[in-house]
Amino acid sequence: MIKENIEKSINEQINAELYSAYLYLSMAADFADKGYEGMEQWMRAQAREEKEHTMRFFDYLQERGGRIKLEAIEKPKEEWESPLEAFEEALEHEKYVTERINEMADMAEKEKDRATLNMLQWFIDEQVEEEDSTENIVNKLKMVKDSPSGLMMLDSKLGERPTESVEKEE
Ligand code: FEO
């Protein structure tokens, strides 16, 4: 049986992952509104990944005999000043998620819960990738600044992200 503090922390993470999906969907909607179709696409794909993350935690907690408790999801912001501001916030959010995952791993280590630690390893690797890809976009947006042609090119490049989720290897 899973320890109570780990169960609580996984439930909180389910909420945090759903909030991430909400945040990226809100960014997708704002990009759509402003005609950045590629960035909209990128954020839609990102939101879909967050829903997959949610279900990984959900399924894991069930497998371990824990009780899933869903809480209200915070309302995300609706509008961003610029693509750079949105992607900078996305990066900050990913750093926050990384911190949460690391704290969970510390807790699992302290409780000698090796199964949870093993499950979290996938997320530790995933966070490295998530931070890296978002940071790359932030850097490109900083290079492009307010150049309309640069923004259009970057928008079209980001729209190349696959729309369907690809099953990742365990
Ligand atoms: Fe589920 Fe983007 O972390």
Identify the pLDDT of residue 35: 97
* Domains contained in the chain, CATH given: 4-158 (1.20.1260.10)
Give the whole-angstrom CA distance, residue 94 versus residue 66.
Answer: 26
Q: What is the mean pLDDT of the chain?
A: 95
Query: What proportion of the chain, given as a percentage, has pLDDT over 70?
Result: 96
pLDDT tens, position by position, 69-120: 999 999 999 999 999 999 999 999 999 999 999 999 999 999 999 999 999 9
Protein residue with least CA distance to atom 1, ligand 1: 50
| 143 Cα: distance to centroid of ligand 1 (angstroms) | 25
Contacts of 146 (CB under 8 A, 6+ apart): none
Neighbours of 162 (CB within 10 A): 8
> How remote is the CA of residue 4 from the centroid of ligand 1, in Å?
23
Q: Could you read off the pLDDT of 12-39 as tens digits, one per residue?
A: 999 999 999 999 999 999 999 999 999 9
Of all atoms in ligand 1, which is nearest to the CA of residue 50?
1
Q: What residues does ligand 1 touch, defined as CB less than 6 Å away? A: 17, 20, 50, 53, 94, 97, 130
Instruction: Specify the pTM.
Output: 0.93
DSSP state for residue 146 in the 8-state scheme: T
Res 159: pLDDT: 96
Residue 94 CA: which ligand 1 atom is closest?
A: 2
Ligand 1 centroid distance, CA of 149 (Å):
30
Tell me the C-alpha to C-alpha distance, in Å, between residue 113 and each of 3, 10, 124.
9, 13, 16
Whole-number Å distance, alpha carbon 20 to ligand 1 midpoint, is 7
Place 163 in a pLDDT band, splitting at 50, 70 and 90: confident
Which ligand 1 atom is nearest residue 53's CA?
A: 1
Measure CA of the first residue to CA of the last residue in the chain; give whole Å: 23
